[in-house]
Amino acid sequence: MICVFGAGSIGCYVGGRLAAAGAEVVFVGRQRIIGEAASHGLTLTDLHGSESRVDAPRFATSPTAAAGAELVLVTVKSAATAAAAEALAPQLEPGAVVISFQNGLRNADVLRERLPQVTVLPGTVAFNVVHSGPARFHQGTAGGLGVQSHPALDSFGPAFARAGLTLADEADLQGVQATKLLLNLNNAVNALSGLPLKTELSQRAYRRCLALAQREALAAYRAGDIHPAKTAGLDPRLLPALLGLPDALFTRAAATMLAMDPLARSSTWEDLEAGRPTEVDYLNGEIVALAAEHGAAAPVNERLTALVHAAEAGGRRDWSGPELLAELRRAA
């Protein structure tokens, strides 16, 4: 049995794809999602036109539903990681495998500390998922799943393959996570713009905001001896320069980056839209914390974090590119 612990957008999409392909999956989540799934089943769509359905998904609110699970996919928000580990600890048997499919850099460490009896592996989700309607989850960007290489994964590969989900074994998952975080620094910019991702990234001023945040992140990585992995064959150190290109050049040079559904949004935008706390402290805030650990500052990421928290409290979510860029340059 596979347990999805944290049935939000990512959890419902990945778990739903596995269930639609025949895997035994139990979802642990909030009553709101359970109600939607009970009435509508699960519908999973993607930017390529694929659609899968699970008519009677197994949902629960209690962590006891995870008892006996051989594989647990932890997809809770980063702030809930410690609580999730404590809830799972009495349920999991020695030999179970837990994969952290979460944002940020340190969630697997938090899980591993509290779940010593199981194998905990860091993972990444390289695509965006939007909750697009009652129990409907849409993959709006390209990408697959990554997980730290481990022999314990061998028996689970076929289930992911049947579901059409690429599960890449990564020898250096930290490098992959670091690159994903570089890209996820855009979540704050996107949420503050109020625009779909493709529209926002097509405007140079917003991209320059992201480039400022990425330069701080790359400096923090150097200080922390963290080596981000290549993305689409590109050295991540070149990302800020790429983002600064004029719009016409960027559109041609970054065709892969812009290969997304025109309506795709960031998870931070989705959280703000739903009135939920965001993960900004584990994205831009992670760069602030990493820089501080090495005696440095990351004022652009600190300001983006503050602006998103202000938006959580009802503040602006309609910054134009030039306005936001000027604000971040003042902070820097």
Q: What is the 3 state secondary structure string of 218-233?
A: HHHHHHCCCCCCCECC
Say what the pLDDT of residue 64 is.
97
Q: Using alpha carbons only, what angle is made at residue 319 by residues 314 and 320, rounded to the nearest 5 degrees?
A: 165
Could you tell me the domains of the chain? Answer: 2-171 (3.40.50.720), 176-331 (1.10.1040.10)
Say what the pLDDT of residue 93 is.
94
Rounded Cα gap, residues 95 and 37, in angstroms: 31
- Is the overall model pTM greater than 0.85, yes or no? yes
Tell me the CA distances in angstroms from 216 to 107, 292, 296, 328, one per residue in order.
Answer: 22, 12, 10, 12
Q: Which two tokens stand for residue 213?
A: 């945040």
Letter string b/e over residues 206-230, b meaning 16 or more CB atoms within 10 A of that residue's CB: bbbbbbbbbbbbbbbbeeeebebbe
Rounded Cα gap, residues 181 and 165, in angstroms: 21
CB 140 within 8 A of CB 264: yes
- DSSP-assigned letter for residue 104: S
Say what the pLDDT of residue 316 is.
96
Rounded Cα gap, residues 64 and 151, in angstroms: 27
Q: In sequence order, what are the beta bridge partners of 231?
A: 234
Axis crossing angle, helix 173-184 with helix 186-193, rounded to the nearest 10: 20
For 28-70, the DSSP string reads E--HHHHHHHHHH-EEEEETTS-EEEESS-EEESSGGGGTT-S
Residue 93 CB neighbour total at 10 angstroms: 11
* pLDDT one digit per residue (tens) for the chain, 332 residues: 999 999 999 999 999 999 999 999 999 998 888 899 989 999 999 988 999 999 999 999 999 999 999 999 999 999 999 999 999 999 999 999 999 999 999 999 999 999 999 999 999 999 999 998 999 999 999 889 999 999 999 999 999 999 999 889 898 899 999 999 999 999 999 999 999 999 999 999 999 999 999 999 999 999 999 999 988 778 999 999 999 999 999 999 888 888 888 888 999 999 999 999 999 999 999 999 999 999 999 999 999 999 999 999 999 999 999 999 999 999 99
Closest by alpha carbon to 266, among 175, 131, 79? Answer: 131
CB 91 within 8 A of CB 123: no
The one-letter amino acid code at 54 reads V
Those residues whose C-beta lies under 8 Å from the C-beta of residue 67, and which sit 6 or more positions away, are 91, 92
Rounded Cα gap, residues 142 and 226, in angstroms: 25
